[in-house]
Structure 1
Amino acid sequence: MNKIITCVDGSAYSDAVCRAGIWAAKKLNKSILFLHAIEKKNIAAAEDLSGAIGLGARSSLLKEMASLDEQKSKLALELGKEMLAHAVELANQQGCESIEKAQRHSDITEAICDLESDARLVVIGRSGEGNKPDFKALGSHIEQIIRQVHTPVLIANKGFTEPKSFMLAYDGRETADKAVKRIIDGGLIHNLTCHLVTVKNNQSKLMDKFNHTEKLLLESGFDVKASFLEGNIFSSLMDYKTKNQVDMLVMGAFSHSKLAHAFLGSNTLKMIENTDSPLLILR
């Protein structure tokens, strides 16, 4: 696991994603791989219309559509190359020593999965190309990537800067315990102030687990500020983040299956949709 896969596109988040990927690559001393995926849009290509009533193989409109399809594909390829070149230039300026780039004709999730075997971290923006800067993550590739990719995912905010602190939203579940182990073993957020925050829920022995987690982090060299809260989970976490000016949020991946999420909701998705801070999802 030697590469920081950093996804670049034409969105408003692209430069911030590059900065986040560069920060992670330098912090972990890993190669950075800039990835651009050219996704097939849901439009009718010329070959899809060849059987339509009244449109024969000699139709001039079909030939013109085929020519436009080819031109559009070439333009998308060249635009992607320019974006990758810009990302590489930024990485060079910031002193990255090992820089790679890749371009794929596929869905971004598929492209990440194809490269994941050698990935240490995946860096993406809150919303992709074609979405407005204030686009909510729900319904984008974000959820799909988090559910399918087993590598930690860093969701960059638009104004990403190097974080000095992070908040670990600990809920006592297995996913949270795995996240704690990832934090201790990983190195990405070592030397950052850790705000360990738990909101009271129905997990058994939650206070004992909370105290044990604080002890583990302290023994691992973290500067820990621990808080056990009560109230609505989402609003309590967001209020704490704002009050304490936390730079980054860290959470375990989804606690429920996708079917259960349809009925129970997900605090992870709420955090993604409503926070303007970078969010690190650990599995």
Structure 2
Amino acid sequence: MSEQVIAAIDGSEFSEGVCDYAAWASLALNAPLCFVHVLDNHSAAPSEQDLSGNLHFGAREHLMEELSALDEQRAKVNREQGKLMLEAAQKRTKAKDISDSTTRQLNGTLVETLVALEKDIRLLVVGKRGETAHQASGHLGANLERVVREMHRPILMVPATFKRPEKVLIAFDGSKTARKGVEMLARSPLFAGSECHVLIVGAETAENHSQLDWALDNLREAGHQAEGAIRAGDVDEALQAYVQEHGIDLLVMGAYGHSRIRHLLVGSTTTAMLRGSHIPVLILR
């Protein structure tokens, strides 16, 4: 199977954004688009309590049978609801000149299912929060945190509303893998015609200036309008400030080695940069 743009959809408010960004990426990359809905029928199962109490003989068994029947009914409803969401996603992308998208409904936990699909993924598009976290406006969601840690494919985390990226910022730390990220950004059809920005968070040293010049030269040689800066301070605060000042539409970050940026992404908690971002974040591994 050829590498695809995989869009993970659920019933959250971010599903439309996932559809639209996935359609944009599929067209730009000239890659097949597949919508995936994962059924985890045990994630919301009722808690098993001690139902023996003073119930007369046979009552507990009867109640267990009823609970089992309810579980089966809930699984059926979730399956049908998922099929409707997949159909709606395909219909939405047909209006964006994509007529041959595919759908898959899979059973299992979200993270394990996506990891199993990894060999087929060119780009994974996910909403900022999942279905069960839509009420928690400041919480990224444990599922996405685990996906970021365990996947080794590019992940595009998107907001609820689509905006075509015209200004792109890459957080750069000068490492070998960060340089690969700049080279990917320079040549990727996703960013053809985009204005590219590079930000190094650190001290104003000759080494950092040399690294910044290298990154800007690579982007300009690839035909991009490019500019950049070196700023001191916390990584997340510096990135957020730069995004606001320059009207950035998409942020590119990488889980690089043992750098400060890697710690930001795969540390014990997800940074405020991801939780608070109102723009898409492309995470490179």
TM-score of the superposed pair, with normalisation by structure 2: 0.87
Runs of 4+ in 1 over 6 A off after TM superposition: 48-55
* Residues 1:27 and 2:16 are matched in the alignment: no
Distance 1:170 1:70, change over 3 A: same
Greater displacement, 95-104 / 67-76: 95-104
Greater displacement, 74-83 / 225-234: 225-234
Match of 2:237 in 1: 235
Greater displacement, 136-145 / 79-88: 136-145
Please list the CA deviations of residues 27-86 of structure 1 after superposition, one character each: whole Å capped at 9, or x if unmatched. 1111110000111215357xx789968776982211111111110000000000000000
Cα distance in 2 between the residues matched to 1:52 and 1:161: 56
Match of 1:43 in 2: 45
Greater displacement, 158-167 / 17-26: 158-167
Match of 1:117 in 2: 119
Cα distance in 2 between the residues matched to 1:251 and 1:62: 49
* Residues 1:148 and 2:117 are matched in the alignment: no
Distance 1:43 1:134, change over 3 A: closer
What secondary structure sits across from 1:130 in the alignment?
helix
Q: Out of 263, 274, 279, which is 1:272 matched to? A: 274
Q: Where does 1:76-155 land on structure 2 (aligned, <5 Å)?
A: 76-132=78-134, 134-155=136-157
Q: CA deviation at 1:234?
A: 2.1
Identity %: 30
Contact 2:129-2:141 at 8 Å conserved across structures: no
Greater displacement, 31-40 / 228-237: 228-237
Please list the CA deviations of residues 232-266 of structure 1 after superposition, one character each: whole Å capped at 9, or x if unmatched. 33222211110111111111126549xx959x958
- Structure 1 unmatched ranges of 5 or more: none
Q: CA deviation at 1:141?
A: 1.2
AA aligned opposite 1:117:
K
Distance 1:203 1:102, change over 3 A: farther
Please tell me the root mean square deviation across aligned C-alpha atoms, in Å: 2.9
Match of 1:59 in 2: 61
Contact 2:237-2:273 at 8 Å conserved across structures: no
Distance 1:265 1:109, change over 3 A: closer
Number of matched pairs:
278
Please list the CA deviations of residues 1-36 of structure 1 after superposition, one character each: whole Å capped at 9, or x if unmatched. 531000110001011111110110111111110000
TM-score of the superposed pair, with normalisation by structure 1: 0.87
Cα distance in 2 between the residues matched to 1:149 and 1:180: 20
AA aligned opposite 1:106:
G
Match of 1:18 in 2: 19
Contact 2:212-2:229 at 8 Å conserved across structures: no
- Structure 2 unmatched ranges of 5 or more: none
AA aligned opposite 2:22:
G
Match of 2:175 in 1: 173
Q: CA deviation at 1:154?
A: 0.4
What secondary structure sits across from 1:88 in the alignment?
helix
Cα distance in 2 between the residues matched to 1:111 and 1:204: 46
